[in-house]
Chains A and B, each alone.
Chain A
């Protein structure tokens, strides 16, 4: 019996797999408006916590010393230089606080993953926010273990691509350098090609690890198991066996996210170009609207990733078979069930 199956749901059959998983995932995610609003607001609040001290600082630094509009288009060099001492203090505290907020953000991500999966694995409509919070709490520790494993894998990836393996295999063996020093190349073009290849491979590997982590979380939730390592190994095997079926929807969702971002880049470039000494608050609000709009769009895509993972997992991964502890029992629907073979109860009929 599926652990997510709502007892009120009388149809035990699995839903048919949509033709375009990524579109279906987007549709169902957009439909969960309260969930993505809540999810987006977590991160936005953290960012606001970093931005507010800067509002206060800019207010103090600009003060009466600069003409209205003088610093709207850009912060000129004299300003940047003259304010460097007070800015340095805020820079340091921003960087330090940023570390703590980054950790908090990762944990929020862990929580949100559980929330999204609970929403998508439960097939009934409604009460999405309650399901989100329930799922976030339910899977938190398991997914925190997945985070640890993910970081370990990313460390390995980095070491392979930036450490000794890269230096030995690529720089010394393939490229024939005496020492792993890019300046030993004949030309800058060669050096940059190697550097860009390294960055490209790292980006590809990073994306694959992220996809693997999403599927690992989905598998854990789908099967209700606890071992992050075992789930990760199984997921890796599944990805090797079904790369297209598993990765295609995520790749398409990545393209959607890129399109959202590209629209944001264009809008920001246009709005920034309009700033002048006579600009009003509406210019700032418009910029903020673009920022928030992009953030919401990306949050929806993030949610849609989990929907897609659920669908793809259902397609390629069999549910775990477990003995139904209530198989030999009697009792009506919605009411109590009594084991037949147990020694606890006797039943008079």
Chain B
């Protein structure tokens, strides 16, 4: 193996140092890549009989920082799956995506390393910069014979072997399905003064690497011919020989490299993933901007208005390839539509997707752990055989993962440290896209993998404990560690018992409201802007990185107005394209783009854990006529007050007190809308300053008009409000709704108990 690797290395041109920082200078007045550039040329061979991989790579690293470096740091991600002692497995409690791992391990091992005309394999050391876990092998370091100066390009030649793990966390194999992510030794990111940014592979974090190009040749068994998808495009037709197929991919494609994107830049990528499955059914169709513009012309007009008439919003055509499993072939068009929705809306809001192609992979059955993940120009989805469009499966995951082409793919934040800058931004964006393109989703109840798009209006019989025993669902037997489950039914029997078409109801969900639900269910234990691997636990990380950021952004939009929000986000997306922004970069760039100073908002919401809950209550009654005695002045005699005479039909004026209350630490300027019985409306603003002085505000009203409703935040601009049920008051209460829903509760329980009675006789 070593001889093969070394002979291969020797066959390559001698490694050396080049002084030209950009060997493929873009044509025209292209904007320079501001960060480091790392180009990979890889030749890899997969043996599916042993599920091993042998590879050689040549890495060209151009140091564009102002600081020299005499070392290299590399990721060996697959070593996270080498044992249950790795940092990844320890942090996840020995489970990956809910599955206890006891087999299907994988690993990576560097077998050759040369640079600066020296064999550096012996200089390789294992590093654990985050937790000093002696069993973790996901980061290695190599000291160079000399420093690489700013502007220098270093060529590294590396050989490695690997055992392909069973796919449990995004990468690996299942049967003959291969999904190869983080599959090659990858250089960390050299950040100049900050040194090398090369974190261990944690359970909750993702990835971070520099921009560049990829030239990848894959050698696979012939059965995979025509069934290989990758970040790049085929540079030439695949060749077949001796029962094997060789396919060469380049990313970005050569034609893409000759085209400047809307920001005047040549496209780059910062990762390369690939997938192969003899069962894939490839389908291809092209995304056309005009088709979508005609469907959503109002949105296009709004964005044009926000960004200015001069802004070119036109998006390029993109070839969308969907690789779907045979049994789910009917869903391929839904994958395509959802991808186009992301390309359209994200492109409209944040700038054009610059590549000519994008690939969607439907993971094989049993490989769902590879699903729901993004890579440059390729992403995995995940669906079910009988999922309907109303469930937003696979639409939801497709929009989200396609959206990552923008947040992470174009604006390349450090996912280890600030995952929320891509996940949270993407969660916000995908909800906005889904609600516009696909409307609300419907919750479903599943009976043996067949869905009914309805849910129980109220809960049924408890499935555990005493209730389960009394209802004969789970009867524990005394003295033996066993339980009877006579009525623990599933599938058809459960469906007959529940009668969902009779007693269940529809439960629709706006994807944007769903962000709020997920964000506010648990109190925030860490600020959003917390290092990814420093959160209290996985749950806190997930809550902050995804829905809480989405809710914070939506609230920000409510605060500054949607027009300014679009301006701020677009400015940030364009300025930091092909760069690695940090949180403060976002805060500063957004503010500059939106033309507003909202630093206090970023400090309080993104760097704090404060909450917000407004409420409104009303007391209203007719003024009482004055009675008793009156005195003109201090010395006058007391005399009885005259009775108030009113004209026929005239009544005493209304006396109304509207009480607004604020709980929590956050203060946002908010409006309250009052509606009166004569149809008139009033709006009052409760300013941030006033909220700072006092937690309450009383509006005293008096007059002939009767207040019929009061609502704080009438446009529902602020999703951060913990409880919206107390945001409004209505004079007239709904007497029908309780009756309507309790009738459904009655119907549901009638079916359950009728079935239960039938068991008795």
Report which A residues bind B (CB closer than 8 A).
Answer: 42-44, 46-48, 50-52, 54-55, 58-59, 61-72, 74-84, 91, 94-96, 98-103, 105-114, 143, 146-147, 150-155, 158-159, 162, 183-192, 195-196, 198-200, 202-203, 206, 210, 213-214, 217, 261, 264-265, 268-269, 272, 275, 279-281, 283-284, 287-288, 291, 294-295, 298-299, 302
Contacts and interface: CB of A to CB of B under 8 A. Distances in A.
B492 A202 contact: yes
A109 B760 contact: yes
B366 A185 contact: yes
Contacts of B756: 102, 105-106, 109
Given A58-B742, A158-B485, A199-B490, 19 more contacts: A42-B757, A43-B753, A51-B749, A66-B728, A74-B507, A77-B513, A78-B725, A80-B517, A81-B520, A99-B468, A101-B749, A102-B756, A111-B760, A183-B366, A185-B366, A187-B325, A187-B326, A198-B491, A291-B750
B365 interface: yes
Contacts of A78: 513, 516, 724-725
B385 A189 contact: yes
A191 B745 CA distance: 35
A106 B746 contact: no
13 contacts: A50-B746, A67-B709, A68-B732, A72-B737, A91-B459, A99-B469, A186-B175, A187-B364, A189-B326, A202-B493, A203-B493, A213-B761, A261-B502
Interface in B298-355: 325-328
In the A-B complex, the 10 residue pairs with the smallest Cβ-Cβ separation, listed nearest first, are A199-B491, A113-B761, A109-B760, A99-B467, A102-B471, A95-B462, A203-B492, A106-B760, A58-B738, A109-B757
A63 B618 CA distance: 13
Interface string B477-502: 00000001111111111001001011
Contacts of B724: 78, 82
A40 B470 CA distance: 22
B747 interface: yes
Contacts of A76: 508, 510, 513
B459 A102 contact: no
Contacts of B633: none
B461 interface: yes
Contacts of A198: 448, 491
Interface bin, chain B = 35 or more
The dominant DSSP class at the A interface is helix
Nearest to A268: B502
Contacts of B758: 109, 210, 302
B393 to A, nearest CB: 13
Contact of B461 (A52, A67, A98, A152): A98
Given A113-B760, A147-B761, A187-B325, A158 B448 contact: no
A226 B135 CA distance: 69
B460 interface: yes
Contacts of B466: 96, 99
A58 B741 contact: yes
Contact of B739 (A150, A186, A284): A284
A44 B750 contact: yes
Nearest to B747: A291
Contacts of A153: 486
B687 interface: no
Given A206-B493, A261-B499, A188 B472 contact: no
B582 interface: no
Nearest to B367: A183
A111 to B, nearest CB: 8
A210 B364 CA distance: 40
A36 to B, nearest CB: 13
